[in-house]
A and B are shown apart, each in its own frame.
Chain A
Amino acid sequence: MRRASLRLRLFGLIVTPLIVMAVILGYWRFMVAQNTAEDLFDRSLLSAALAISRDVVISEGDAILPSTRDLIRDASGGEVFYHATGPGGIYVTGYAYPPIAKDQGSAREGEIVVFEATYRDEPVRVLQVIEQVTVENLSGNTTVTVWQRMADRQAFANLLAARAAALIAGLLATLALVVWFGVKLGLRPLEDLQQAISIRSPDDLSRIKRAVPVETKGIVQTLNRLFGQVETSINAHQAFISDAAHQLRNPAAAVQSMAEAVQSATSKKDRDERLGELVRAAQNSARVAEQLLSLDRLQQPVNPTTFKPVDLREIVETTCADVGARILTQGIDFKVALPNQPIRIDGDRVFLAEAIKNLIDNAAKHGGKNLSAISVSLSRQADHVSVTVSDDGKGLTPDQSKVAFGRFSQVEPSDGSGLGLAIAASVAERHNGSLVINPVEAGASLSLFLPSQRQMPAQTGQ
């Protein structure tokens, strides 16, 4: 799911409720303006009516004074129409035909009536005042009617509402701008951080050191930790590849020179001898490549599904039969002691076979000139099983473990890759077991211990 930017999020969160509130307030202001306008206009109509009524009395029933007429026009913000009748209903002044209320006749003396009507096809607001007056000894009711177009007061109300709306809109716009740019400004440390991350690459995985806001400290810490892990991992891989290239170069060079030596051989005997060497060099080369592949597979995280119930006795027997032929051909005694019953453990068949093969190969390779016998035994103890490979060669002591089990390292230089025991140790670790050099009087003895109960393999790479 695509997430909106932080800026949009904050902007929306702040501005949306404000807009909703502004609409509500605007509506309220509009209603108030409507009422105010009505109120205001009704009052000015009333004062106009009263003014006319007094004027009629002062002028003794004649037309209203020019000053009054001006006053009426100015006061109410819109054209005011008027009509006045004197006692006896005699027309005194004003427009000829005033609008008539639907319930005409209910107006009585001293009363003020306000109603809406139609005048010249326009809705108008009408105010009528009936008063008892005496003009030239003639007593009676004068009726003053004033009216005004509804459109005028509506226009006034609209004007009030529009002003309010403009005010609210102005405020909102200011706020929106402030929030929009303010958020951008507020988020600047994040952009700094992004820039800091973007300049990192596999070549530069240094920690991010610049000051960051409290909120992003966690992110930066996590990132720094990740950078550290990635850097370590990359370095390890580079070291591995470099070592591997060296390891492959040596046997490849041996194959090449031996092949050339075969070409230059002068007698059949020489050629046959060198061919034998060539085959051995090529076998060695293939073996190193195979070991490197094993090591690479061992570096991958443990996948428990590759662990299956296997018969360790069968694996040891098959592996020994495989490797044993070569040992016997070299004139070295080879014996294997296996229990009568299968030994079932959970494990990876290929890795276990590889580990056992490496232990035997190691004995044959590093045993030295006096090596005459290699023996393999498999036994079960209370909570573990062990595969022990012993020889009567040069010997290894427990304190040499570190060098012997290290990758690409050997106790004494040989044509080996220095990977065999490292692989065996990794396989042991992967199976929750261990590889140890047994303290013996003569020769070397190594044991691969594996747990015999069902249990989960060690979790690495999590």
Chain B
Amino acid sequence: MVAQPCVKLAGAKNADPVVEDNEALAKAIAYRLRDHGHAVDILCDGDQASAFLAQDGADLVVLDINLPGQSGLEILRSMRQEGDGTPVILLTARSEIKDRVAGLDLGADDYLVKPFEMDELDARIRALSRRKNLDFGATETIGNITFERTTRQIKAGGTTLDIPRREVALLECLLERRGRIVSKAQLTEHVYGIGADVDDTAIEPHVSRLRKRLSNHGVTIKTARGLGYMLEARN
């Protein structure tokens, strides 16, 4: 791929660099992230990106594997070798399975296969932020409700909803992966903790109660039988 002209934006302290050599894709990602209140730097060249990361650092990196200059994998390797544990989401093409595996082995936190939906990228960033205790998106909004991550408060139209702890955990998990199907196993793990000796069906009554609670606030929980549940704003 030909090197695209590099679009460098003013680097804020709390920046997510997007390292991509497809300029339109990089821009779209940057727009999306800025819309969510993140400061974003775009770097279209592997060497520049590596220098930038070594000097300024970042809170989270969205990294393409195919880059002019250093490849994404090389950047990732040198980051991890220097003890830089910044969360990294790799972008790969469908045909780069080997690279994907190599990327995860090198310490990438997640990967996305191009083309992907922006909701998916949002979800991955949300999940990663939580895992890494980053203070991205302290509040989440869906339908008419907002979820305050730090206080774990759920509000609808200014009033706080009184929801049991397990259902809050459930909502948190679904919210992180909204627009995607979350398996019962994932939900059980999130609600009861990893390795808890609980049957997957135990989650079902909690889900139906939560669904009822949220139905008046423009939020639905859809069921994919045999797979799991999906949270989505009602149109």
Binding site for B on A (CB under 8 A): 283, 286-287, 290, 293-294, 297, 317, 320-321, 324-325, 327-329, 333-338, 349-350
Return the contact of A320 from the options B94, B95, B222, B224 (Cβ within 8 A).
B224
| Complex interface: chain A residues within 8 A of B230 (CB) | 324-325, 328
| A-B interface, 4 closest residue pairs, ranked by CB to CB distance from nearest | A335-B225, A336-B226, A286-B115, A321-B181
Binding site for A on B (CB under 8 A): 94-95, 97, 115, 117, 179-181, 183, 222, 224-228, 230, 232
- Do A335 and B224 touch across chains, with their CB atoms under 8 A apart? yes
| Complex interface: chain A residues within 8 A of B179 (CB) | 325, 329
Bound state CA distance, A286 and B22, in angstroms? 15
| Nearest CB of chain A from residue B36's CB, rounded to whole Å | 18
| Nearest CB of chain A from residue B126's CB, rounded to whole Å | 15
- Do A321 and B94 touch across chains, with their CB atoms under 8 A apart? no
- Do B181 and A290 touch across chains, with their CB atoms under 8 A apart? no
Report the nearest B residue to A317, measured CB to CB: B227
| Complex interface: chain A residues within 8 A of B180 (CB) | 321, 325
- Do B227 and A324 touch across chains, with their CB atoms under 8 A apart? yes
- Do A320 and B232 touch across chains, with their CB atoms under 8 A apart? no
- Do B94 and A336 touch across chains, with their CB atoms under 8 A apart? no
Bound state CA distance, A266 and B8, in angstroms? 34
- Do A329 and B115 touch across chains, with their CB atoms under 8 A apart? no
- Do A334 and B224 touch across chains, with their CB atoms under 8 A apart? yes
| Complex interface: chain B residues within 8 A of A286 (CB) | 115
Known pairs A290-B115, A321-B227; list 17 more (Cβ under 8 Å).
Answer: A283-B117, A297-B95, A320-B181, A321-B224, A324-B181, A324-B224, A324-B227, A325-B181, A325-B230, A328-B222, A333-B225, A334-B225, A335-B225, A335-B227, A336-B225, A336-B226, A337-B226
| Nearest CB of chain B from residue A288's CB, rounded to whole Å | 11
Residue of B180, B181, B228 contacting most chain A CB atoms (<10 Å): B181
Report the nearest B residue to A335, measured CB to CB: B225
| Complex interface: chain A residues within 8 A of B222 (CB) | 328
| Complex interface: chain B residues within 8 A of A321 (CB) | 180-181, 183, 224, 227-228
- Do A328 and B224 touch across chains, with their CB atoms under 8 A apart? yes
| Complex interface: chain A residues within 8 A of B94 (CB) | 290, 293-294, 350
| Nearest CB of chain A from residue B62's CB, rounded to whole Å | 18
Bound state CA distance, A422 and B225, in angstroms? 28
Bound state CA distance, A349 and B227, in angstroms? 20
Bound state CA distance, A183 and B232, in angstroms? 85
Bound state CA distance, A158 and B180, in angstroms? 108
Bound state CA distance, A350 and B227, in angstroms? 20
| Nearest CB of chain A from residue B115's CB, rounded to whole Å | 4
- Do A293 and B95 touch across chains, with their CB atoms under 8 A apart? yes
- Do B232 and A336 touch across chains, with their CB atoms under 8 A apart? no
| Complex interface: chain B residues within 8 A of A327 (CB) | 224
Return the contact of A329 from the options B183, B225, B227, B232 (Cβ within 8 A).
B232
- Do B97 and A334 touch across chains, with their CB atoms under 8 A apart? no
Residue of A283, A317, A325, A327 contacting most chain B CB atoms (<10 Å): A325
- Do B115 and A334 touch across chains, with their CB atoms under 8 A apart? no
A selection of 18 A-B contacts at a CB cut-off of 8 Å is A287-B115, A293-B94, A317-B183, A317-B227, A320-B224, A321-B180, A324-B181, A324-B224, A325-B179, A327-B224, A328-B224, A329-B179, A329-B232, A333-B225, A334-B227, A335-B227, A338-B226, A350-B94
| Complex interface: chain B residues within 8 A of A338 (CB) | 226
| Nearest CB of chain A from residue B136's CB, rounded to whole Å | 22
Bound state CA distance, A333 and B180, in angstroms? 15
